[in-house]
Structure 1
Amino acid sequence: VKVGEPVKLVFNRISDKGCLDQLNIPALNVKQQDLPLNEPQEFDLDTSKAGEIDFACGMNMFKGKVVIE
């Protein structure tokens, strides 16, 4: 995404299998947040400066990131 562009990150857990029932987003101080089944969870991201915002499942097995340029 571009610096200054408003971004909302949405997670919608559609399976009760595996470790995807919890979420970590260190930059937002989100630690082991439960993700209810079939209930989208929204997170507004701070895009005021370039960088990366990492996220992962509760066990840190599934990972991703948002790159801000």
Structure 2
Amino acid sequence: MDVSKVVVAVLGVAAIAWVNWYFFLAERRKAAVAAKVGATGLQQAVIRVEGGYAPSRVRLRAGQPARLVFDRREDSSCSEEVVIPDLGVRRFLPAHQRTGIDLPPTRAGTYEFTCGMGMLRGTLVVEEA
């Protein structure tokens, strides 16, 4: 085996490791952004959709209703839908528009949200008050 084949093999393994870290591990290390609580007690968080979700981790209080506002700033077909499987949510997100999704009071736990294809990922961290 010559040097060029070894270099290509090492670079291939490094690329595979980076892709796995980026899509599966990096999200878990980001701090969750707390939703703002309005005068009515409704929690609200705005999530920008542009090549991913920002913030990708949102902290909510358990037992209180919440509204997630997805601000989709792109035309990519991957981001045209958001799914929160554990809460039974599947919603179309029109391009270059804001879409509000009202969530009922939820128990403490971690709830994943994804695009329709499962490529873009985010997490709702619901904590006891």
Structure holding more helix per residue: 2
The residue number in structure 2 matching 1:50 is: 108
Identity of aligned residues (%): 38
Q: Aligned with 1:24: secondary structure?
A: strand
Contiguous gaps of at least 5 residues in structure 2: 1-59
Q: Which amino acid aligns with 2:80?
A: D
The residue number in structure 2 matching 1:14 is: 73
Q: Distance in 2 between matches of 1:36 and 1:3?
A: 29
Query: RMSD between aligned alpha carbons?
Result: 1.8
Please report the TM-score for the alignment, with normalisation by the length of structure 2.
0.46
Q: Is the 8 A contact 2:65 2:106 kept in 1?
A: no
Q: Aligned with 1:52: secondary structure?
A: strand
Q: Distance in 1 between matches of 2:106 and 2:77?
A: 34
Deviations 1:21-48 (A, max 9, x none): 11111123223x3210122111122334
Q: Distance in 2 between matches of 1:53 and 1:45?
A: 12
Contiguous gaps of at least 5 residues in structure 1: none
Q: Which amino acid aligns with 1:65?
A: T
Please report the TM-score for the alignment, with normalisation by the length of structure 1.
0.77
Q: Which of residues 4, 28, 35 is equivalent to 2:87? A: 28
